[in-house]
């Protein structure tokens, strides 16, 4: 199918026809999702044959609403968020046709989980300083190094990986981007236990892992360019997702306020009102951001959304703990767990308060995001960067 679908009514008709042939009540869940992808009703703005119809991105909500109303299964987007929000748009933009057809379908259906091998112990906020080496060996690349803070590495089949392939040029120029097989014998995943008690994050050791050149995304030495697409989409995925009014953390806190009048004080009431207004402004800004995304690639505005998301989540979780007093300091499950996804609203207040501390680190630290907003959104002078023309091997570490 090559024609562009631009009409919401036509999309509704296509969904209705699909549901008539694939009854959600009787069709196997995975079979249903595979058929939805093949019908172009997964990502409607993706090209035909890759889960889409070449339709405007804004029409995705029309399709999703029709499937939700029919009680159709979804692809558990929380579990596969890294694949959906980061790997898929990067593969779509930089992947070969063979790569797109190999990876996008099982990614969307959730058959293959993805993780992101970017940050390192010595290259977190300054990602371009990374030192994980990839050396060409015939048709393969041999990769050695360490990555850290890797969510879902313990469940992932594939990873998006940025490496150092040329240490003799400035740091941004010597990077190359790959798709890494997490089942390779040279890949070792170790849990990182967090302040919440669970091990949602991991450190990943690459000990001579072999990656075929056919799994390279973009040209050799252009990994920073490819990674920028991933990072911009990551920040939108974290901070720019659609929520209804009083969705997310503010809904939980407001619900506690309404249900527990004995906990209220004038000061807490004032703080809750102020945060409620800020969250509503944030939600409406997200609507505007998604309208911009409908006509182009994510830009630096997504960094502002992710920055606000982290600040509001931390403020709201802190207010909830104060509201609940001693009751807010505990939660039931401190055991060492290896969760497949993060659930803020389905856990106790104490868990939410502790887990929200990570929001200002994951997906780009708030300090780095402030720099991006200042320089690329507000047009303020850039910070001095004395290392931009220095070969990576000559940088102090």
pLDDT digits (tens, 9 = 90+) for 156-171: 999 999 999 999 999 9
What does the pLDDT read at residue 2? Answer: 42
Contact by Cβ (8 Å): 357, 317: no
What does the pLDDT read at residue 1? Answer: 41
Asked if residue 390 belongs to a domain, the reply is: no
Percent of the chain that is helix, strand, coil (3-state, to 5): 45, 15, 40
Task: Quickly state the pLDDT bin for 24 (edges 50, 70, 90).
Answer: very high
243-248 contacts at long range (C-beta below 8 A, 24 or more positions apart)? 243/283, 243/286, 245/280, 245/283, 246/276, 247/283, 248/279, 248/313, 248/344, 248/345
pLDDT of 28 above 90 = yes
Task: Quickly state the pLDDT bin for 125 (edges 50, 70, 90).
Answer: confident
* Token duo for residue 309: 């998301």
Tokens 């469940």 identify what position? Answer: 155
- Domain interval for residue 257: 227-377
Contact by Cβ (8 Å): 223, 208: no
Asked if residue 260 belongs to a domain, the reply is: yes
Comparing CA positions, the residue from 304, 242, 228, 283 lying closest to residue 57 is 242
Q: Which of 305 and 213 is assigned the larger pLDDT?
A: 213
**Residue 300: CB atoms within 10 Å:** 16
What are the pLDDT digits (tens) for 73-95? 999 998 999 999 999 999 999 99
What are the pLDDT digits (tens) for 248-267? 889 999 999 999 989 889 99
DSSP symbols for 353-370: HHHGGGGGTTTS-HHHHH
Tokens 């091990």 identify what position? Answer: 199
pLDDT of 237 above 50 = yes
Asked if residue 136 belongs to a domain, the reply is: no
Indicate which residues carry an active-site annotation.
234
pLDDT of 315 above 50 = yes
Comparing CA positions, the residue from 134, 130, 103 lying closest to residue 119 is 130
pLDDT of 235 above 70 = no
Please provide the size of the chain in residues.
Answer: 397
Q: What is the mean pLDDT of residues 288-298?
A: 66
Final residue belonging to a domain, choices 49, 74, 99: 74
Asked if residue 314 belongs to a domain, the reply is: yes
Number of helical (H) and strand (E) elements in the chain, helices listed first? 12, 8
Task: Quickly state the pLDDT bin for 348 (edges 50, 70, 90).
Answer: confident
Q: What is the mean pLDDT of residues 122-143?
A: 93
How far, in whole angstroms, is CA 351 from its chain's centroid?
21
pLDDT of 383 above 60 = yes
> pTM score, two decimals?
0.87
Asked if residue 114 belongs to a domain, the reply is: no
When divided into structural domains, the chain yields a total of: 2
- For all residues of the chain together, what is the average pLDDT? 89
Asked if residue 62 belongs to a domain, the reply is: yes
Q: What is the mean pLDDT of residues 22-26?
A: 96
Q: What is the mean pLDDT of residues 119-141?
A: 93
Residue 191's beta-bridge partner residues?
202
Find the CATH number of the domain harbouring 300: 1.20.140.10
Q: What end-to-end distance do the CA atoms of the chain give, in Å? A: 53
Comparing CA positions, the residue from 217, 138, 116 lying closest to residue 176 is 217
What are the pLDDT digits (tens) for 98-108? 999 999 999 99
Asked if residue 385 belongs to a domain, the reply is: no
pLDDT of 344 above 50 = yes
Asked if residue 262 belongs to a domain, the reply is: yes
* DSSP state at residue 375: I
What are the pLDDT digits (tens) for 172-204? 999 999 999 999 999 999 999 888 888 888 999
């Amino acid at each position: 199918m090559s024609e562009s679908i631009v009409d919401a009514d036509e999309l509704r008709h296509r969904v209705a026809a699909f549901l008539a042939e694939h009854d959600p009540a009787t069709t196997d869940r995975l079979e249903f999702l595979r058929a939805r992808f093949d019908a172009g009703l997964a990502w409607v703005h993706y090209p035909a044959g890759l889960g889409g119809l070449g339709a405007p991105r804004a029409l995705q909500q029309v399709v999703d609403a029709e499937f939700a109303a029919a009680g159709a299964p979804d692809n558990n987007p929380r579990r596969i968020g890294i694949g959906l929000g980061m790997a898929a748009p990067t593969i779509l933009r930089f992947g070969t046709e063979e790569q797109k057809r190999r990876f996008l379908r099982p990614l969307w259906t959730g058959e293959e989980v993805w993780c992101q091998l970017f940050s390192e112990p010595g290259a977190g906020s300054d990602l371009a300083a990374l030192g994980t080496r990839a050396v060409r060996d015939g048709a393969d690349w041999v990769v050695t190094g360490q990555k850290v803070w890797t969510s879902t590495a313990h469940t992932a089949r594939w990873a998006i990986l940025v490496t150092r392939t040329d240490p003799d040029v400035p740091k941004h120029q010597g990077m190359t981007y790959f798709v890494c097989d997490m089942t390779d014998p040279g890949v070792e995943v170790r849990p990182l236990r967090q302040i919440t008690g669970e091990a949602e994050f991991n450190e990943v050791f690459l000990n001579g892992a072999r990656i075929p050149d056919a799994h390279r995304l973009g040209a050799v030495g252009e990994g920073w360019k490819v990674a920028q697409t991933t990072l911009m989409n990551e920040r939108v995925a974290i901070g720019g997702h659609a929520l209804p009014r009083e969705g997310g953390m503010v809904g939980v806190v407001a619900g506690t306020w309404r249900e527990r009048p004995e906990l209220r004080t004038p000061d807490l009431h004032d703080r809750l009102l102020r945060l409620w207004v800020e969250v509503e402004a944030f939600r409406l800004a997200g609507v505007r951001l998604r309208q911009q995304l409908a006509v182009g690639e994510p830009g630096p505005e997504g960094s502002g959304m992710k920055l606000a998301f982290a600040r509001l989540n931390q403020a709201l979780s802190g207010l909830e703990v104060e509201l609940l007093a001693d009751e807010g300091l505990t939660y039931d499950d401190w055991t060492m767990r290896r969760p497949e996804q993060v659930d803020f609203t389905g856990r106790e207040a104490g868990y939410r308060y502790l887990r929200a501390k990570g929001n200002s680190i994951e997906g780009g630290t708030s300090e780095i995001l402030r720099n991006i907003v200042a320089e690329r959104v507000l047009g303020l002078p850039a910070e001095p960067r004395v290392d931009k023309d220095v070969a990576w091997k000559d940088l102090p570490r």
